[in-house]
Amino acid sequence: MGGLEKKKYERGSATNYITRNKARKKLQLSLADFRRLCILKGVYPHEPKHKKKVNKGSTAARTFYLLKDIKFLLHEPIINKFRDYKVFVRKLRKAYGKSEWNTVERLKDNKPSYKLDHIVKERYPTFIDALRDLDDVLSMCFLFATFPRTGKCHVQTIQLCRRLTVEFLNYVIASRCLRKVFLSIKGIYYQAEVMGQLITWITPYAFAHDHPTDVDYRVMATFTEFYTTLLGFVNFRLYQSLNLHYPPKIEGQAEVELKPKEGEAYALNSESYMEKLSALSASLARVVAPNLEDEVEIDEFPVDGESAEHEEARRKEQESLEKQKKLFEGLRFFLNREVPREPLAFIIRCFGGEVSWDKSVCIGATYDVTDPTITHQIVDRPNLEKQVISRYYLQPQWVFDSVNAKMCLPVADYFPGVLLPPHLSPFVTEKDGDYIPPEKLKLLALQRGENPESAFSGNTASLPFTEEEEEEEEEEEGGEEDDDGSEEEDDSEKEEEEKLKRMEEQKTQGKKLPVKVTVGTVRLEDKQRRVQEEQNEEKRLAIMMMKKKEKYLYQKIMFGKKRKVREANKLAEKRKAHDATLKLEKKKTKKARRE
């Protein structure tokens, strides 16, 4: 055999990957700088398909980067900035050591800084790409915006995060693109549809964080550095798309008005504007005044058959969406002080409602508690001393549930002090075979308009009594719905048959008549069952003949399916048990009351 000797690991996948340490050495960066660079540039390790080949025969655990990625990093101008910064730090330390304060000042003035614009553009060549990745960006910025202004990270970062998130919220309000909200135990999830992209983010509940010690804030700060840049650009573009001023301006109020009056010194001028924006109560000024009449109507094209159906469905969806956007239009809300103001104000304004709060809670309140036009007051305390007849007093969950249901839900379940109905996640879409909680079924029925008896315009005074009865009825309904399994029906039928048989036997014992009818029916059923069984057996036999590999796969799939069913059954069972205990308790209390 002629030719050159082929050496191992000099071609193929081994040459496409590079370990982290080697990459670091190639870039001549410290680990911390390398990490920063990777975070900013969005470079991540790749898992090679054949790890042993890439690892040159060793099986040691290593992280691999694509060589192309690293080569791409080599040309990054930011690396030079990192090096400059290192030099800067060295010089500064030296100057401090020598107490050369002039030098220190000069150095600080010339502190090397870098911009991430080009990286944003590079990572997200199109705006839609950026929107697609906005989930983490928003969650992180919302988290940082809640950090205390001391320690942990730079105050500027926190302020920037706060500003950007408020801007984004204002955009969502202006474009009315919020779709779903969810109160979870972790925080509040929001989902908005921005230019066709679903963006989901989570905000923590407004409490002080107890900062964990096992978290590297430098990593998070680096991420935030990039995220704030990205979010700023995205905000700019979004505002532009709606013809809004950026940075945002509040509509209708001149600058002079915005300035606080002499007596009520609230904050610094620069801050108060930000505060007013973050109050989320005022709408934003537009560059061009919007034309209200100027709604785009979709042209109707002549279509045929299937696409017509599609079109129909799309139109319906569009309509429902429009309806959802105007969900709270015309309603005036008032938030009590114990209610989380920002999320509720945001949600209500997103769906066209008007909202206000006590003046002492936050800046930007537009009307008072005593305003007679208030239709809904959001309250989160068990009882109220004085109530105004003309408005509903509701718990905050009503707002969230109504948004998710895309309709104003009956208010009876949400009165203060009442045991709230479960709050369901709007992000779950049940496929057939999955467990659907009865509340969801009820909700679906309500959405279809099947339950017109709901006491939407019910009288508050008479409700406590009617409510219980309703609940009971509903529960009974739910129970019936629950046990509609085919097997159980079969069983009951069988039992009936057996009863009949027995009765007939008792009758015929004396007369000794031949049995006819019952036998016939039994056979009929047997036929069906036999066919079923035959098919089952056929399948079982066919499964026996499967190849080993396919059998394994098949069994895996079936195991997954069965597990799903099992879990669904478990949930259903739990629910049943829970309902049963509830009913028992209710009966007991009723009896006790009667006695």
Partner 1 sequence: MRTFSSGLPLPSAAAAEEQDWESDDVTDSEESVYSGLEDSGSDSSTEEEEEDANDQCVEKKVKDASHSEKMRAGATSQKKEQLHHKKRSSKPLLVSSEPQQLPTENEYAEDSSDEEDIRNTVGNIPMEWYQDFPHVGYDLEGKRIYKPIRSLDELDKFLDKMENPDYWRTVRDKMTGADVKLTDEQVELVQRLQRGQFGDVRFNPYEPAVDFFSHEVMIHPVTNRPADKRSFIPSLIEKEKVSKMVHAIKMGWIQPRKPKEDVPSFYDLWAQEDPNSVLGRHKMHVPAPKLRLPGHEESYNPPPEYLLSEEERLAWEQQEPAERKLNFVPQRFGCLRAVPAYTRFIHERFERCLDLYLCPRQRKMRVNVDPEDLIPKLPKPRDLQPFPTTQALVYRGHGSLVRCLSVSPSGQWLVSGSDDGTVRFWEVCTARCMKTLPVGGAVKSVAWNPNPAVCLVAVCAEQAVLLVNPCLGDKLLYGATDQLLDAYVPPEEERLQPVQWVAATAEEHARGVRLVVQHGKAVKQVTWHGKGDYFASVLPDNGHMQVLIHQASKRWSQSPFRKSKGQVQCVLFHPTRPFFLVATQRFVRVYNLLKQELTKKLTANCKWVSSLAIHPRGDNVICGSYDSKLTWFDMDLSTKPYKVLRHHRKALRAVAFHKHYPLFASGSDDGTVIVCHGMVYNDLLQNPLLVPVKVLKGHALTQDLGVLDVAFHPTQPWLFSAGADATVRLYT
Interaction residues for partner 1, span 550-579 (CB under 8 A):
550, 553-554, 557-558, 561, 571-572, 574-575, 578
* Min CB(184)–partner 1 separation in Å: 4
> Does position 204 bind partner 1 by CB under 8 A?
yes
> Does position 133 bind partner 1 by CB under 8 A?
yes
Please state whether 99 falls in left (phi above 0), alpha (psi between -120 and 50) or beta.
left
Site for partner 1 in 285-324 (CB under 8 A): none
Residue that the structure tokens 């050495």 belong to:
25
* Min CB(226)–partner 1 separation in Å: 11
* Min CB(520)–partner 1 separation in Å: 22
* Min CB(365)–partner 1 separation in Å: 20
367's CB contacts (< 8 A; 6+ apart) are 332, 334, 356, 373, 374
Indicate which single residue of 248, 353, 364, 396 sits in contact with partner 1 (rule: CB under 8 A): 396
Indicate the SS3 state at residue 194: strand
Count Cβ atoms below 10 Å from residue 486 Cβ, excluding itself. 7
Indicate which single residue of 8, 52, 314, 381 sits in contact with partner 1 (rule: CB under 8 A): 381
- For 49, the enclosing helix (H) or strand (E) is none
Rounded distance, CA 211 to CA 424, Å?
30
Write each residue from 320 to 349 as x if it is in contact with partner 1 (CB under 8 A), else as -, in one continuous string: ------------------xxx---------
> Does position 22 bind partner 1 by CB under 8 A?
no
257's CB contacts (< 8 A; 6+ apart) are none
Site for partner 1 in 221-250 (CB under 8 A): 223, 232-233, 235-237, 240, 246
Please state whether 364 falls in left (phi above 0), alpha (psi between -120 and 50) or beta.
left
* Min CB(67)–partner 1 separation in Å: 10
* Min CB(29)–partner 1 separation in Å: 15
Rounded distance, CA 43 to CA 40, Å?
8
- For 97, the enclosing helix (H) or strand (E) is helix 77-98
Provide the 8-state DSSP code for 284: B
* Part in contact with partner 1 (CB under 8 A); list of ranges 364-372, 417-425, 469-477, 507-515: 417-425
Site for partner 1 in 420-459 (CB under 8 A): 420, 422-425, 427-428, 437-439
> Does position 483 bind partner 1 by CB under 8 A?
no
Rounded distance, CA 467 to CA 165, Å?
42
* Part in contact with partner 1 (CB under 8 A); list of ranges 6-14, 215-223, 457-465, 471-479: 215-223
Cβ proximity to partner 1: between 490 and 523 the closer is 523
Whether residue 158 contacts residue 149, with contact meaning beta carbons closer than 8 Å, is answered with: yes
* Min CB(530)–partner 1 separation in Å: 12
Count Cβ atoms below 10 Å from residue 34 Cβ, excluding itself. 23
Q: Which amino acid is at 219?
A: V
Residue that the structure tokens 């315009």 belong to:
457
Site for partner 1 in 35-74 (CB under 8 A): 35, 38-39, 43-47, 49, 63-64, 66, 68-69, 72
Cβ proximity to partner 1: between 22 and 237 the closer is 237
* Part in contact with partner 1 (CB under 8 A); list of ranges 218-226, 262-270, 441-449, 493-501: 218-226
Indicate which single residue of 182, 334, 351, 393 sits in contact with partner 1 (rule: CB under 8 A): 182
77's CB contacts (< 8 A; 6+ apart) are 114, 118
> Does position 120 bind partner 1 by CB under 8 A?
yes
Indicate which single residue of 96, 101, 205, 456 sits in contact with partner 1 (rule: CB under 8 A): 205
Indicate the SS3 state at residue 19: strand
Cβ proximity to partner 1: between 507 and 561 the closer is 561
Indicate which single residue of 538, 563, 565, 587 sits in contact with partner 1 (rule: CB under 8 A): 538
* Min CB(140)–partner 1 separation in Å: 6
Q: Which amino acid is at 501?
A: K
Count Cβ atoms below 10 Å from residue 79 Cβ, excluding itself. 19
- The CA–CA distances, whole Å, from 351 to 82, 184, 332, 404, 406 equal 46, 21, 12, 12, 10
31's CB contacts (< 8 A; 6+ apart) are 24
Whether residue 20 contacts residue 37, with contact meaning beta carbons closer than 8 Å, is answered with: no
> Does position 155 bind partner 1 by CB under 8 A?
no
